[in-house]
Chains A and B, each alone.
Chain A
């Protein structure tokens, strides 16, 4: 049944669209399609972005690992390397702060009428992604391969059972969220 759904291409395009509509609706309702909220997060004044992300991670983690344990979902771990994640992550962060949106909230900002997102952020992100695609052959065997660790997960790294790690990560996230609320941020 699930396999039939997964392999139906047109149905998948429709599902992508529907999930996207719900995602965009939620992003807007959360206020994170606004430049002001995102820059407020990066200036550590307003923790809306972190609160939404961390509560999504806790919810998502428990559900996805439950689905996996009953055989209804499989993980898609992105392989990584230090050259890929540290360097790419920092470059992303610089652009994220200058633009004031990330790729998903950028699309959401377009939906609420932000012209800086539509005419600035969207073409910019497309150009940036294209430049990377063009530079990829030169980077692939160089910096992107530095410190390669592949599809590593925290349970494998820590040599712990997945559920033990989930309990620890959820507990840490909940403590952080309580601390943020307590600090009134």
Chain B
């Protein structure tokens, strides 16, 4: 079982594995793999804590009810699965600032936190605007040959590459 403890698997094994998981999701759950809907539903659940059930009347939450569904469990499962893999390969470690970030931008945790928060807001907003993320559109949608998903995925990377290059340029001066 040494392979289970390996820090990393060959990338194509991982890719094929995720492809096979998508078969299971379609077969057993009649559901494509996707993550960002769970964030929208959870944000509604949090709003409900403050404002009560009138939140369910918001147009968007009528489409995506603020309750725990298959997608929410999927995202929770991802946290657990990554934790198991990290733990058994001895790679679990609390860390505020990623190594590359530290080398490129700096070691201050507050700045990394603020940037991650800001990036998260923009990404969460964009994911719901586009109707999916790198898994819902990028893998599940493209594999179904959906035009919407191919367009969105190309734009994810277009926007991502341009922004990353700008960030690298700004901080390398």
A-B residue pairs in contact (CB < 8 Å), sample of 30: A12-B29, A16-B29, A17-B74, A20-B78, A24-B77, A24-B85, A27-B81, A30-B15, A33-B82, A36-B100, A53-B134, A56-B139, A60-B19, A64-B22, A73-B30, A79-B148, A92-B133, A92-B152, A94-B160, A96-B163, A102-B133, A103-B39, A116-B97, A124-B124, A125-B124, A127-B124, A129-B124, A133-B40, A136-B60, A153-B147
* Contact indicator B146/A151 (Cβ below 8 Å): yes
Q: Is B82 a contact partner of A24 (Cβ separation < 8 A)?
A: yes
The reply to whether A86 and B79 form a contact with Cβ atoms under 8 Å apart is no
A-side residues, CB < 8 A to B, are 2, 5-6, 12-31, 33-36, 39-40, 42-44, 48, 51-61, 63-64, 67, 72-82, 84-100, 102-117, 119-134, 136-137, 139-140, 144, 149, 151-155, 157, 162, 165-166, 169
Instruction: Give bound CA distance, A105 to B41, whole Å.
Output: 18
CB-contact partner of A24 in B78, B94, B154, B163, under 8 A? B78
Cβ-closest chain A residue relative to B165 = A43
CA distance A116 to B109 in the complex (A): 8
Give CA–CA (A121, B64) in the complex, Å.
22
Given A21-B77, A87-B129, A129-B40, are A100 and B18 also a contact pair (CB < 8 Å)? no
B-side interface residues toward A, CB under 8 Å? 6, 8-9, 11-12, 14-33, 35-36, 38-40, 42-44, 46-47, 58-61, 64, 68-86, 91-101, 109, 112-165, 167-168
Chain A interface, DSSP helix/strand/loop, else mixed: helix
Residues of B within 8 A of A111 (CB): 78-86
A55 x B145 contact (CB < 8 A): no
Complex contacts, B46 vs chain A, CB 8 Å:
126, 130
